[in-house]
Amino acid sequence: MNKSPASQRVILPPAPISHPCMPTLLNPDTVAHGIQLSIAPVFLLTAVAGMIGAVSSRLARIVDRARSIEGRLKTERDSEQAASDRRELVDLRTRGLLANGSIALLTLCAVSIGLTIIILFLGETLDYQGLRLAFSGFLAGVICFLAALVCFLVETWIATRVLKFGQRF
C-alpha cells in the first residue's frame, strides 16, 4: 500500500460562501442579540398604540359633540344659549386640534421607534455602525411621546374645565 502524501488527503466540505456586506447574517446568536436589543423600543410602541386608541376615541367624541351643537345652533332661537353653544364650539375646536396634534406626535414617535428598531437590528446583524442614529431616533421618539402626552393633558384639562361638579347652574 502506497502511503504517499497525495493518497492521505482529507476531503473537507466546501467552506460557506460569505458576502462582505453580510458577514454575520446567519449567526443565530447575533440575530438573537439583535432581537433582544429591539425589545425595549417595542414596549414603547405598545404604549404608543394604546395612546393612539385613547386619543382617537376622544377625538371621535369631540367631533360628535361639535356636530350635535352645530345642528342645534341651526334651529336655536335663544341668543343666550346660542352664545354658550358658540363658546363650547370654540373649546371643542381647540380640543380637536390638540387631539390631532397628539395623534400626529404619537405617529412620529412610532415611526422614530420603528426606525430605531431597524437600525439596532441591522447594526447587530450586519455590523452597521448606526449607534448614534439609533440613539437619536429613540430620543426623538421619546420626545414626541412626551409632547403627545402634554397635548393629551391640556385637552383633558379643557374638557373638564367646563364641568360644574355640584355647583348650581
H helices present in the chain, as ranges: 28-75, 79-126, 131-161
Better pLDDT: 15 or 30: 30
The C-alpha atoms of residue 143 and residue 106 are separated, in whole angstroms, by: 10
Three-point CA angle 21, 24, 26, nearest 5°: 115
pLDDT at 24: 43
Q: What is the DSSP letter of 22?
A: B
Domain annotation covers residue 14: no
Domain annotation covers residue 91: yes
Q: Are 154 and 168 in contact (CB under 8 A)?
A: no
Across 124-138, average pLDDT: 82
Number of domains in the chain: 1
Domain annotation covers residue 2: no
Domain annotation covers residue 144: yes
- Count the neighbouring beta carbons within 10 Å of the beta carbon of residue 28: 8
Better pLDDT: 126 or 58: 58
For residue 114, what are the domain limits?
33-160
* Helix, strand, coil tally for the chain in percent (to 5): 75, 0, 25
Domain annotation covers residue 93: yes
Domain annotation covers residue 169: no
Domain annotation covers residue 85: yes
22 bridge partner residues: 19
pTM tops 0.75: no
Better pLDDT: 3 or 47: 47
Grid cell for residue 117: 428598531
Domain annotation covers residue 20: no
Percent of the chain with pLDDT over 90: 47
Residue 69's H or E segment, with its range, is: helix 28-75
